[in-house]
Structure 1
Amino acid sequence: MQDEKKYSWLSYTSYGLGILSIVITLSFFSSLIPRVLMLTALCLLVISVSISIIIGIVALCKKNEKKSLAIIGIILGFLTGSSLFLFIGFFWFITPVHPN
């Protein structure tokens, strides 16, 4: 009975931050966030993605932890982070640079 695996706060936090990053990204892309709060939303997104991935990896390393929520949190973090990176990189690439 001691070796029973269950979810802990690490798995729930990783999963919750992954969902939060998806919600922030969708509201970021659909312009639901006012212009004033764009930088704040971008910083919050970077923080939530990185913490979701780190906490998910810590949850995967624990012995008595179910792994499914942590894996989903890591996948959501990577998907959100890579989509945002590609989106910002694309606009940085197509924006012309005009030296003064």
Structure 2
Amino acid sequence: MKKFSWLSYGSFLLGVFSMPFFFALIYGLIRIHPYFGFFLVSLSIILSLIFGFIAISKDTEKNSIATLAIIISFGSGAFFVFGLLMSQMGSPT
């Protein structure tokens, strides 16, 4: 019988909570070094993608949450990279 496991839920939570953490980091609600914060955001997106692909490849796992998590992670990653690229346009050196 197919069911959801911690891989699906973990992938979904990591994908969803990466962007609020990114905005909290940008607006100064979290007091950590920016490089460490950006590392944590990128690590959560990468781990979400890895967990999602592992969950999809398992035969005993339902694929709906894992597929949604992968879509959210790709969107979050694209927004994160776009935000980092646009932040460098104000002061090119």
TM-score range, shorter chain: 0.7 to 0.9
Mapped partners of 1:29, 1:47: distance in 2: 17
- Report deviation, 1:42: 0.7
Q: Is the counterpart of residue 40 in structure 1 residue 36 in structure 2?
A: yes
Amino acid across the alignment from 1:14: S
Aligned residues: 93
- TM-score w.r.t. length of structure 1: 0.81
Question: Where does the alignment leave 5 or more consecutive residues of structure 2 unmatched?
Answer: none
**Which residue of structure 1 aligns with residue 51 of structure 2?**
55
The more displaced of 21-30 and 72-81 is 21-30
Identity percentage over the alignment?
31
Structure 1: stretches of 5+ with no match in the other structure: none
Deviating above 3 A after TM superposition, structure 1's stretches of 4 or more consecutive aligned residues are none
Q: Which residue of 2 aligns with 1:31?
A: 28
State the structure with more CA Rg.
1
Deviations 1:22-62 (A, max 9, x none): 2212313433223x432221111011000100110111111
C-alpha RMSD of matched pairs (Å):
1.5
